[in-house]
Structure 1
């Protein structure tokens, strides 16, 4: 089944901002390995960045809005796009592009687990794709209510119960 890798909101301002993502360096390393594996297997890579309103730290064009340089994404090879809502399908061409590439299996990684990862996994399933949530390649920050590790664990359990297949990065074979 044709597959694609979807990298969500791995942006300078979110990753290197005042609040640090849980296990950020390990998550980044896992995503980098998945990117390398996707390139070798000629699996399409889609990377989305969240665009905040004018004047926000992640407004279009701001330094914090940029995707992490460490990902080494290439606009000539990869599909880079912007969104303004948590769901990466809302108001974007993502569904059409995936359908055009005949993608069934959509490997989902990035930030933040309780917002964009959650809503995109649910939307992907609703749209007929087969989302695979890479459990050791998504993250978020601590909140006043819960530590990030608990949020991640909860979302793995919830999304894995009804919306996505769970997979470890070491088990991914595109």
Structure 2
């Protein structure tokens, strides 16, 4: 790839939190996905690229209330709160009422790399919205996950979303091929 054609990338880690990742049903390829996400966080940090982490929260008194242990980011996740931007959201779209688009613009991000949970909800919704806000988007095919649904196995959900979102909404890449330009 021609380095002059490279857009400044930022990394968005969606909903990698205790209650979703360590819930009653284990996410598809959980350990592999977490490892891939951590490798991407390390790469982004090394390149000086901004990293954003979204937490899905619910109303006070619910299992995902902002102060609940279930709504906290995974301890194993290499997010650095002193360096990275952690923000809360209440809807599947990471841009809805969060200020994320303004934060990306302020950081000079032109292309957003998307990873996390859940493929069929927040990853899908955010991947479909990002271009409408003027940003290019990359979905890392092996760094997002979900759990089985009543009608589909998680592997089929992930495969379907990679096929559906890739090209039409996002550029699809493997984690090993995803890089961040030096800032």
Kindly report the root-mean-square deviation, in angstroms, between the aligned alpha carbons of the 2 structures. Answer: 0.8
Which runs of no fewer than 5 residues in structure 2 stay unpaired? Answer: 1-6
1:15 aligns to 2:21 (yes or no): yes
Of 74, 77, 87, 2:80 maps to 74
* Partner in structure 2 of residue 47 of structure 1: 53
Give the secondary structure class of the aligned counterpart of 1:161.
coil
Work out the CA distance in 2 between the residues paired with 1:99 and 1:66: 26
TM-score by length of 2: 0.93
1:128 aligns to 2:99 (yes or no): no
* Partner in structure 1 of residue 92 of structure 2: 86
Structure 1 runs, 4 residues or longer, greater than 4 Å off? none
Provide the aligned length of Structure 1 versus Structure 2.
174
Work out the CA distance in 2 between the residues paired with 1:72 and 1:156: 25
Query: Which shifted more, 48-57 or 139-148?
Result: 48-57
Which runs of no fewer than 5 residues in structure 1 stay unpaired? Answer: none
Work out the CA distance in 1 between the residues paired with 2:167 and 2:176: 21
* Partner in structure 1 of residue 30 of structure 2: 24
TM-score by length of 1: 0.98
Deviation at 1:72, TM superposition (A): 2.7
Work out the CA distance in 2 between the residues paired with 1:19 and 1:160: 27
